[in-house]
Structure 1
Amino acid sequence: MICMLSITPEKYSEIQRSTRSELETTIQTEWPDTKNECPYEVRQYFDSRDQLSVLDSIVYKGSRIVIPPSMHKDMLNLLHKSHLGIVKSKSRAREIMYWPAMNADIEQAVNNCSSCAEYQKQQNREPLMPTPTPDLPYSRVGTDLFEFEGKKYLILVDYYSKYIDAVQLRSETTAAIIEAMKTVFACHGLPGILRSDNGPQFSSATFKNFCAEHGIEHERSSPHFQSANGEAERAVQTVKHLWMKCEDKQLALLDYRTTPLENIQLSPAQILMGRRPRNTLPASQDLLKPITHDLRKVKQHLNAQKAKQKFYYDRRNVKELSPLENGTTVRIETPGSKSLSSGENPQDEEDDPIEDSCFNESAIENAATPLVRDIPANHSNALQTRSGRIVKPPVKLNL
């Protein structure tokens, strides 16, 4: 019979031995009337008993070989040796072999494969989850850092009025950021919620103490997911586009703050302050007088705008993902790598040099100068900045 099968003699003999000890005797005998009367090891074959036949100590279902239980693991390894996906692995198996629950076993084997999990495709985007519109102006504020023309700036944007403040920083330390925020908060008041990314300045203990002392709830976005802090990211883009085309940066900000928002016919300054600040355009005195507006209508317009954005975003290839539970093993794509990794960073987290520098006034003044720290042996002539970047001296030709 081996001449009728595309199989090595060794594998043929192995299937014969396993079949004799596990399946042949029970299948060749008369089947009982009910499934519960069958021996446990062949109970799963009861529904397909009429399609089973034995030839040369090998059980067949039609033209497919019935693999005995002791060889399931070996067959799964052969099927997935080339790391094909679930669909192709099932297609290969269905043509030549059979055992009960074979499809489920193949799915489990492919899902548990570490190599396939490391190089699997990214999951679909989840449906858009807009941030709820706050009830009051300046109750929820987004913040971020950005660079423009070689200078560092702090940006603050109100989620309700879309009012933007951009403050130049003398350094990137936590203390300098806190001082810039205090200047803005002195004009508009303290926000109830402050959202930022996971930058070292915002995740430091000093910034945490600042928020706790002033009664500010600090929310941080997910690492490497800029959309979670989308309001601030969008404000940075708006400011950069304005400043690239304007010579007077502050006048450009004033014009933005006094321009009515789409579908609301109220400017960010009107929503936040209740009045139109005077700009370079001629305007009557009546237009500059403070007026009150209905906060409910403003919120309705903002909610309608968010709903419209969600509608068009969700038309793309989005999918509801299953919620994660505590203890679930996950894999993430590390920056600079296309593979997915589940391992943790082996290096212990060191104290943030930016946070430590906040307690040293001289370090704050000289924050722009590189900080000399322990340098690897292969970069003995290099310096390391506060952000961790290694600066090597240029290689010059000896002419």
Structure 2
Amino acid sequence: MYVPGKQLVTADALSRAPSGPEKSTENETLEDECRVFVDLIVQQIPATKTKLKQIQEMQNEDLTCQQLRQYTQKGWPDHQKTVSEHLVPYWSHRADIHVANGILLKGERILIPKPMQREMLERLHQGHQGMTKCIARAQQSIWWPGVIRDVRELVERCDICCQHSQQKTEQLMPTPLPVRPWQRVAADIFQWEGGHYLVVVDYFSRYIEVANLPKLITATTVERLKVIFARFGIPETLVTDNGPQFASCEFAEFSRDYDFKHVTSSPRYPQSNGEAERAVRTVKQMLRKNQDPQRALLAYRSTPLAHGISPAELLMGRRIRSTVPVPPKSLTPRWPDLKVFRRKDRMLKEKQQETFRSRHRAKNLPVIIPGQKVWIRTSKTTGTVRGEAATPRSYQVETEMGTLRRNRAHLTVLPEPTQQEVNVTVTRSALPLQQ
């Protein structure tokens, strides 16, 4: 039964059937969708319209970009050998290179022409962020063959980043065991509860002597050392830091008078006087835990160390009597087996070295060649290395303040300027000054 259309509450299927075929074809629809997608990519590129226009103009002027644009329109050659030499780096990426709104892209990243690459690198490194973040910024927006390599080189050669980079931990350098007791000793001064004390430790036996310093002057330090030397003999070598009590002319005269070699550790690097530093920690722990420091020293000197022999036995060839009962026969002078002691000492040091290396991922820093520019971390100045110093891992560095001795851990090698950077500096210096 016929019902007028205006009276139909719900239209049937035939009354709403299309009158003819769609005007747009599937190909045209696909092209429209691709065009919308490409426009969306360009809109999402993190760059202003002015900068995009500048990049487009540079691409139009660049010969490489002109040829790439032609290949994207007409198709790439069938074989790489037929491609110009300067386009070979783009060959493996040819499927991703296309033009959108007049701009050459590689995927969703802008293809930067050669003349603008240096500027883009400097923009990527604004804020002096680390290498990982700079690479992430590049992967987000721009591309050219070798962009990741260029970013790495830029960050590695940045003076400011080198100056503020974290220095790697070097491997532990074990202290060589002397030939005999009291041949090489170390000394240091520490403060405890308002007083100052002198600590002297033997490299061979780890035997520790402690003396009070009523006055923190060279004369008092020398007097205390004379008392200790009178008790155990004069060592061949005395190792100290560069404190004023040890760096004075008076102390130098004392070393000549008593005929021993005075060696100072690297300035501002207490680890290089490690034996004395460990002895100071041991003594402070004694003072912190014991009311009678002399009894604590007695206990330390008579207690076997990790290799099974006490410091007193190694220094004097006998056990010393303490409050712990021992058979009288064991107090008879008798030297321990030094061959066994040396073997155990070497094994312990090798184990410590391996533990330190694995725990801190320690790795020796590269040797600095004389003439290289360095950044001195302790004084925040630059200098030129003149050569290695007498102490291990130390260098003589020439600065505006004079020649300094610094440990390798305090020195960061600054990159040499490239020829391109030199040319830029010369060009800028040749420009007339603005009035």
Into which bin does the TM-score normalised by the smaller protein fall? 0.7 to 0.9
Cα distance between partner residues in 2 of 1:19 and 1:267: 79
Shift of 1:46: 5.0
Tell me the residue number matched to 1:191: 235
Contact 1:135 1:299 in 2 (8 A): no
TM-score (norm 1): 0.72
Contact 1:19 1:57 in 2 (8 A): no
Tell me the residue number matched to 1:216: 260
Shift of 1:116: 4.1
Tell me the residue number matched to 1:111: 156
Cα distance between partner residues in 2 of 1:285 and 1:296: 26
Tell me the residue number matched to 2:84: 38
Cα distance between partner residues in 1 of 2:252 and 2:168: 34
Q: Which of 288, 295, 315 does residue 272 from structure 1 map onto?
A: 315
Instruction: Indicate the SS of the match to 1:315.
Output: helix
Tell me the residue number matched to 1:20: 60
Tell me the residue number matched to 1:290: 333
Letter in 1 for 2:312: A
Tell me the residue number matched to 2:129: 84
Indicate the structure (1 or 2) with the bigger Cα radius of gyration.
2
| CA spacing shift, 1:236–1:48, aligned 2, 3 Å | same
Tell me the residue number matched to 2:351: 308
Tell me the residue number matched to 2:30: none
The CA deviation string for residues 143-189 of structure 1, in whole angstroms up to 9 with x for no partner, is 11012333221111112111111122232222322232222122222
Letter in 1 for 2:246: F
Tell me the residue number matched to 1:233: 277
Tell me the residue number matched to 1:10: 50
| CA spacing shift, 1:292–1:346, aligned 2, 3 Å | closer
TM-score (norm 2): 0.67
Tell me the residue number matched to 2:138: 93
Q: Which of 345, 366, 377 does residue 323 from structure 1 map onto?
A: 366
Shift of 1:93: 1.4
| CA spacing shift, 1:24–1:199, aligned 2, 3 Å | same
Cα distance between partner residues in 1 of 2:117 and 2:155: 14
| CA spacing shift, 1:55–1:147, aligned 2, 3 Å | closer
Bigger mean CA deviation after superposition, 324-333 or 226-235:
324-333
Cα distance between partner residues in 2 of 1:263 and 1:325: 37
The CA deviation string for residues 284-320 of structure 1, in whole angstroms up to 9 with x for no partner, is 5433322122211122222232233334333323231
Tell me the residue number matched to 2:185: 141
Instruction: Indicate the SS of the match to 1:172.
Output: coil
Cα distance between partner residues in 2 of 1:253 and 1:215: 29
The CA deviation string for residues 229-260 of structure 1, in whole angstroms up to 9 with x for no partner, is 23222222222333345454434423432333
| CA spacing shift, 1:140–1:207, aligned 2, 3 Å | same
Instruction: Indicate the SS of the match to 1:261.
Output: coil
The CA deviation string for residues 93-128 of structure 1, in whole angstroms up to 9 with x for no partner, is 1232211221122122333445544554x3443332
Q: How does 1:242-391 map to 2 (within 5 A)?
A: 242-264=286-308, 266-279=309-322, 285-326=328-369, 327-330=372-375, 332=377, 341-343=380-382
Tell me the residue number matched to 1:358: none
Letter in 2 for 1:290: P
The CA deviation string for residues 349-381 of structure 1, in whole angstroms up to 9 with x for no partner, is 9xxxxxxxxxxxxxxxxxxxxxxxxxxxxxxxx
The CA deviation string for residues 36-79 of structure 1, in whole angstroms up to 9 with x for no partner, is 98365x56445545654456653332332210111112212322
Cα distance between partner residues in 1 of 2:136 and 2:289: 59
For CA contacts below 8 A with separation 6 or more, give which structure has more relative contact order. 1
Tell me the residue number matched to 1:170: 214
Unaligned runs of 5+ in 1: 335-340, 350-399
Tell me the residue number matched to 1:65: 110
Q: How many residues align?
A: 340
| CA spacing shift, 1:293–1:206, aligned 2, 3 Å | same
Cα distance between partner residues in 2 of 1:312 and 1:230: 17
Cα distance between partner residues in 1 of 2:212 and 2:271: 24
Instruction: Indicate the SS of the match to 1:153.
Output: strand
Shift of 1:129: 2.2
| CA spacing shift, 1:86–1:138, aligned 2, 3 Å | same
Contact 1:153 1:168 in 2 (8 A): yes
| CA spacing shift, 1:91–1:147, aligned 2, 3 Å | closer
Bigger mean CA deviation after superposition, 277-286 or 291-300:
277-286
Contact 1:24 1:58 in 2 (8 A): no
Residue identity (%): 36
Cα distance between partner residues in 2 of 1:171 and 1:3: 81
Letter in 1 for 2:216: E
Cα distance between partner residues in 1 of 2:202 and 2:116: 64
Cα distance between partner residues in 2 of 1:191 and 1:36: 79
Tell me the residue number matched to 1:156: 200
- Runs of 4+ residues over 6 Å off in structure 1: 29-37, 344-347
